[in-house]
Structure 1
Amino acid sequence: PRILYNQSEIEAWKKDPQKTKEIEKIIKQADSIISEPLYVPDKEGDWIFYYFCPKDNAMLKPVDNEKHICPVCKKVYCDERTIAAYRTVINNKLDKDAVTVASAFAFTGEEKYANRVKEYLLKLAQLYPLFQRHDRWGRKGIFAVVGGRRYAQNLDEAVSAISLANAYDLIANAKCLSFEEKQTIEELLKNIVREILKYEVFHGGKNNHQTWFNAAYAVVGVATGDSELIKESIYGKYGLLWQIENSVTSDGLWYEGTIAYHFYALEAIQYTLDAVKVIGWDFSKNEKLKSMWLGPINMAYPDGKFPVFHDSDPVELKNYQKFYLWAYKYFGDKLFARYAGIQIPDVKNVELKSTNLSGIGVAVLRKGKNNNEICAMVDYGIHGDSHGHPDKLNIVLFANGKEFLLDPGRISYSVPEYNTWCRTTVAHNTVVIDEKDQQPATGKLLFFDDKHDYSACLVSVDSAYPGYILKRFLVLTEKFLVDAFVVSGKEKAKIDWIIHCRGNIAESSQNIAVDYLGNKNGYQHLKNVKKLLSISEPVIYEINQQDKKIKIYFLNNSDSSIFTGSGIGYHLKDEVPFLMRKKISESAVFITVYEFMCDSDIQSINILPVFEKNKKLQETEAIALKISFSEKTIELGFDFREKVSKLETSGKTFERFFFNIKQ
Structure 2
Amino acid sequence: MQNIIKINFIIFFLFFGANVVAQQHPSLMLTKVNIVAIRKGCDSLPILKTSYLALKADADEALSTTINVPKPVDGGGGYTHEQHKRNYTSLLNCATVYQITSEKKYADYVKTMLLDYAGKYQNWPNHPKSKSLDDAGKIFWQSLNDYVWQIYAIQAYDLVYDTLNKTERDKIENELFIPILKFFTEDRKVVFDKIHNHGTWNLAAVGITGYVLNKPVYVKKAIYGSNLDGKTGYLAQINKLFSPDGYYMEGPYYQRYALLPFILFAKAIQNYQPELNIFKYRDELLAKAIHTSLQTTYTNKVFFPINDAIRDKTFESIELVYGSNLAYADIKPDADLLDIVQQQNKVIISDAGLKVALAIAQNKAVPFNYQTLWIKDGAKGDEGGIGVLRFGQNIDQQCLVLKASSQGMGHGHFDRLNLLFYDNGTEHFYDYGSARFLNIDTKGGGNYLPENQTWAKQTVAHNTLVVDQTSQYQAQLSLAESNHPTLLYFNNTPKLKVVSAKEDHAYENISLIRTSALLKIDETEKPLLIDVFKVIADKPHQYDLPFWYQGKIVNTSEKIIAQRNNLTALGTDFGYQHLWLNADKKLSSASGFISVLNKNRFYTTHFTSNQPLKIKLVSIGANDPDLNLAEGKAFILSQSDFKNQTFISVTDTHGNTNPVKETVTDASSIITDLKLVEDSITQTTISFKAKDKLYIYQINYQNKNNYINIR
Deviations 1:68-115 (A, max 9, x none): xxxxxxxxxxxxxxxxx4322222222222333444544555555544
What's the counterpart of residue 529 of structure 1?
582
What's the counterpart of residue 82 of structure 1?
none
Report the 3-state secondary structure (helix = DSSP H, G, I; strand = E; otherwise coil) of the residue aligned with 2:604.
strand
TM-score by length of 2: 0.76
Residue type of the partner of 1:660? I
Relative distance call for 1:267 and 1:468 in structure 2 (3 A) is same
* 1:149-548 equivalence runs, <5 A: 149-174=138-163, 177-187=164-174, 188-198=176-186, 199-202=188-191, 205-236=194-225, 237=230, 238-257=232-251, 259-281=252-274, 282-286=277-281, 287-301=284-298, 305-312=302-309, 313-317=311-315, 320-321=320-321, 323-335=323-335, 336-341=337-342, 342=360, 348-349=366-367, 351-359=369-377, 361-368=385-392, 373-412=397-436, 414=446, 415-439=449-473, 440=480, 441-478=483-520, 479-508=527-556, 509-513=559-563, 515-527=568-580, 529-532=582-585, 534-548=587-601
Q: 1:460 Cα shift? A: 1.3
Out of 86, 89, 107, which is 2:79 matched to?
86
Relative distance call for 1:308 and 1:583 in structure 2 (3 A) is same
Higher relative contact order, chain-length normalized (CA < 8 Å, sep 6+): 2
Q: Share of identical aligned residues, percent? A: 23
Relative distance call for 1:505 and 1:248 in structure 2 (3 A) is same
Contact 1:337 1:344 in 2 (8 A): no
Distance (Å, rounded) in 2 between the aligned partners of 1:290 and 1:533: 51
Deviations 1:512-546 (A, max 9, x none): 42533124432233346112255322111101113
Relative distance call for 1:4 and 1:587 in structure 2 (3 A) is same
Report the 3-state secondary structure (helix = DSSP H, G, I; strand = E; otherwise coil) of the residue aligned with 1:265.
helix
Deviations 1:378-397 (A, max 9, x none): 11111111221111010011
The 10-residue stretch of structure 1 (316-325 or 122-131) with the greater mean CA deviation from structure 2: 316-325
Residue type of the partner of 2:172? I
Contact 1:506 1:543 in 2 (8 A): yes
TM-score by length of 1: 0.81
The 10-residue stretch of structure 1 (164-173 or 22-31) with the greater mean CA deviation from structure 2: 22-31
Matched, 1:627 2:688: yes
Out of 642, 648, 658, which is 1:591 matched to?
648
**Gap regions ≥5 residues in structure 1:** 52-84, 611-616, 646-653
Report the 3-state secondary structure (helix = DSSP H, G, I; strand = E; otherwise coil) of the residue aligned with 1:408.
coil
Report the 3-state secondary structure (helix = DSSP H, G, I; strand = E; otherwise coil) of the residue aligned with 2:406.
coil
Residue type of the partner of 2:639? K
Distance (Å, rounded) in 2 between the aligned partners of 1:30 and 1:373: 40
Distance (Å, rounded) in 2 between the aligned partners of 1:197 and 1:178: 28
Deviations 1:42-90 (A, max 9, x none): 3x44541xx3xxxxxxxxxxxxxxxxxxxxxxxxxxxxxxxxx432222
Contact 1:627 1:633 in 2 (8 A): yes
Distance (Å, rounded) in 1 between the aligned partners of 2:460 and 2:705: 33
The 10-residue stretch of structure 1 (320-329 or 158-167) with the greater mean CA deviation from structure 2: 320-329
Distance (Å, rounded) in 2 between the aligned partners of 1:343 and 1:601: 48
Residue type of the partner of 2:278? F
The 10-residue stretch of structure 1 (498-507 or 162-171) with the greater mean CA deviation from structure 2: 162-171
What's the counterpart of residue 603 of structure 2?
550
Distance (Å, rounded) in 1 between the aligned partners of 2:652 and 2:554: 15
Distance (Å, rounded) in 1 between the aligned partners of 2:237 and 2:144: 16
* Count of residue pairs the alignment pairs up: 597
Distance (Å, rounded) in 2 between the aligned partners of 1:475 and 1:464: 23
Deviations 1:576-627 (A, max 9, x none): 32111222224422221212243422231222235xxxxxx4xx65331122
Report the 3-state secondary structure (helix = DSSP H, G, I; strand = E; otherwise coil) of the residue aligned with 2:635.
strand
Output the aligned Cα RMSD. Answer: 3.2
Residue type of the partner of 1:17? D
Matched, 1:125 2:118: yes
Distance (Å, rounded) in 1 between the aligned partners of 2:707 and 2:53: 65
Distance (Å, rounded) in 1 between the aligned partners of 2:601 and 2:33: 54
What's the counterpart of residue 134 of structure 2?
145
Deviations 1:383-423 (A, max 9, x none): 11122111101001124554211112225253444333322
Distance (Å, rounded) in 1 between the aligned partners of 2:213 and 2:593: 67
What's the counterpart of residue 381 of structure 2?
none
Distance (Å, rounded) in 2 between the aligned partners of 1:27 and 1:346: 27
Distance (Å, rounded) in 2 between the aligned partners of 1:117 and 1:350: 38
Distance (Å, rounded) in 2 between the aligned partners of 1:293 and 1:404: 26
Q: 1:552 Cα shift? A: 0.8
Q: 1:255 Cα shift? A: 1.7
Q: 1:247 Cα shift? A: 1.3
The 10-residue stretch of structure 1 (153-162 or 447-456) with the greater mean CA deviation from structure 2: 447-456
Residue type of the partner of 2:547? I
Residue type of the partner of 1:190? I
Report the 3-state secondary structure (helix = DSSP H, G, I; strand = E; otherwise coil) of the residue aligned with 1:278.
helix
Report the 3-state secondary structure (helix = DSSP H, G, I; strand = E; otherwise coil) of the residue aligned with 2:308.
coil
Out of 635, 643, 648, which is 1:579 matched to?
635
Contact 1:532 1:562 in 2 (8 A): yes
Q: 1:345 Cα shift? A: 6.7
Q: 1:656 Cα shift? A: 6.7
Residue type of the partner of 2:633? P
Distance (Å, rounded) in 2 between the aligned partners of 1:106 and 1:321: 20
Relative distance call for 1:332 and 1:588 in structure 2 (3 A) is closer
Residue type of the partner of 1:128? Y
Distance (Å, rounded) in 2 between the aligned partners of 1:9 and 1:167: 17
Relative distance call for 1:370 and 1:577 in structure 2 (3 A) is same
Contact 1:367 1:477 in 2 (8 A): no
Q: 1:204 Cα shift? A: 5.7
